[in-house]
Structure 1
Amino acid sequence: MGRLNEVLLSFDLDHTLMINPFRRWVFPEINRWLQSHFSEENPVNRLIREHRRRLLNGACPKAYDWDDILRSVASGRSIPFTVRELVEKHTCVGKVWLFADVLPAMDRLAQAGARMVAATNGFTRYQRPVTDCLGLTPYFDRFHTPEEMQCAKPQAAFFHFGKGSRVIHVGDRLDQDVLGANRAHQISVWIYREMSLELIKLPVSERNRHPLLSACLAARLHREGVPTELHEACHPQYVIYTLDELPEIWEQESGSEGISDKW
């Protein structure tokens, strides 16, 4: 359990720190196998529909159990692989990668004494092969995932891993990362790598309520399919365009001495 009032940094993984092999490699291979059993061009979409059905029915963590979803779609057919095996097969340099700002920022935070965890909706068996390959795993004290928490982002209960700590949660999705952290009364940080130069020039503390951000948030919320009544709840407390800006937030929220002067 974290010390009372300790600040814990939690990170989403996919599209926040790294790119996993699902979209470009795992799903296409599943699709090729399914095409031999279903007379449609992209039968892998059956998995996506089942995933969404489970989400709508509140079936967490089963909505993120891709092996179980595949078995359900296969309807008793013998599957010659597991999704975990496909992830391991395609997790190699060139098929998975980190954003360029990740390791320098993680090094700075680790050397400054920040405590960090992964907080992802991906099951550990699908995420650890990728974080191991990319050298991310040693930075995290723990992995918090749906099969452990028995819930998923954006449910507030997912963030109970913080216990006595204040959590700064960093993620790329407004509908999962920001909404979940806000619901749990934690500190939400939206990483928005497509930020315009006008916003980049602003101090980090001034971006989240600046009029320039409104259109960016509206477009992203529309893309994520967030109902209008949830828009305010999806408003991040901080907006960054690179992880290089995260130590400033950690320093401010933890009351630590400045680390930026050391680097």
Structure 2
Amino acid sequence: MKKWITFDLDGTLMQNPFGKWVFPAIEEQISQQLQRPFKSTETLVREHERRMAQNRTVEAYDWDEMVRLLLAELQLELTIDVERLVLDHSVSPKIYLLEEKSLETLQRLKERGYSLAAVTNGFYKYQFPVMKALGLSEWFDDIVTPEKAGCGKPDARILDSLRKTGEIAAHVGDRLDHDVFMANQSGVPSVLIYHKLPEPLRAAAPRQRAAQAEFVDICKAKLQKEHPQAAVEPYPAEYVPDYVIYQMEELLDCVH
């Protein structure tokens, strides 16, 4: 049986090209066709959020479909291939690793005998080109995506295929509402990576940081931004990470 460590991708290990390159390219093409400025990114994100609120966690990340529907609604004779745009923009410096040493950490985890899986809400066709270009893909034994799993985070069922082959020793991610919640609901040790961890909190061990008053305040503000409906008082236990790290190398101290 395998011993898995699972990772979120965007905001955890890498920066994808959507925000600064893909969405603006879509906006430019639509605006040119309409011959007026059109904020397609806002429209697409609003549709994404609507689908997430309806628990349509697979459809919420099907950007090609959402773009096709938008073009039809605008009655534009225009074809935009989001997958192609991702491929075109999967080059440096448009995409990058969030930490240069993260590949070394992945290698060290593999040397310890762990199997590594990416568990991401991005469709495979959007994520793999970025992972390959950054040298990430070769370290992962599996890449779990919503269209393959039949659901997306925070639905814990996205982990089912991995559970059939072994146990999950930890899940690492940058979001409270997707990653920490999913791991906690699954009984998997949750590791929040927070790259901007204040210096005083870095003195505490990863296991102790989540209980610090200063970090509780950070979590409250972060959850309010990610999932306002969940940001209640007292702060809900299901959004409290087991470990907090500020760089990937610290993960080595959280798993043994």
TM-score w.r.t. the length of structure 2 is 0.91
**CA separation of 1:89/1:237 partners in 2, compared to 1, >3 Å: closer, same or farther?**
same
The question of whether the paired residues in 1 share the 8 Å contact of 2:26 and 2:80 is answered with no
Aligned length: 247
**1:169 is matched with which residue?**
171
CA RMSD in angstroms, aligned pairs only: 1.6
Measure the CA separation in 2 of the matches of 1:79 and 1:102.
Answer: 40
1:235 alignment partner, one of 233, 240, 247: 240
Structure 1 unaligned residues grouped into runs of 5+ = 252-263
**CA separation of 1:85/1:207 partners in 2, compared to 1, >3 Å: closer, same or farther?**
same
The question of whether the paired residues in 1 share the 8 Å contact of 2:30 and 2:38 is answered with no
The question of whether the paired residues in 2 share the 8 Å contact of 1:18 and 1:98 is answered with yes
Structure 2 unaligned residues grouped into runs of 5+ = none
1:40 positional shift? 4.4
1:92 aligns with 2:88: no
Measure the CA separation in 2 of the matches of 1:46 and 1:114.
Answer: 41
SS of the aligned residue for 1:117 comes to strand
What is the 5 A alignment of 1:92-131? Answer: 92-99=91-98, 100-131=100-131
1:209 alignment partner, one of 208, 211, 220: 211
The aligned amino acid for 2:81 is: T
1:125 positional shift? 0.0
What is the 5 A alignment of 1:29-68? Answer: 29-35=25-31, 36-37=33-34, 39-68=36-65
Measure the CA separation in 1 of the matches of 2:11 and 2:27.
Answer: 22
1:80 positional shift? 3.1
**CA separation of 1:41/1:70 partners in 2, compared to 1, >3 Å: closer, same or farther?**
closer
The question of whether the paired residues in 2 share the 8 Å contact of 1:34 and 1:44 is answered with no
Q: Deviations over 1:200-245 (max 9, x none)?
A: 0111221121222111111111121332347321110110001111
Greater mean deviation of Cα atoms: 161-170 or 37-46: 37-46
1:138 positional shift? 0.6
Measure the CA separation in 1 of the matches of 2:169 and 2:151.
Answer: 17
Q: Deviations over 1:96-141 (max 9, x none)?
A: 0002231121122122222101000000000000001000001000
Measure the CA separation in 2 of the matches of 1:72 and 1:129.
Answer: 24
**2:67 is matched with which residue?**
70
1:161 positional shift? 2.8
2:252 alignment partner, one of 247, 250, 257: 247
Of all paired residues, the percent bearing the same amino acid is 35
TM-score w.r.t. the length of structure 1 is 0.89
Greater mean deviation of Cα atoms: 41-50 or 8-17: 41-50
Q: Deviations over 1:132-156 (max 9, x none)?
A: 1000001000110000111110012
1:191 positional shift? 0.1
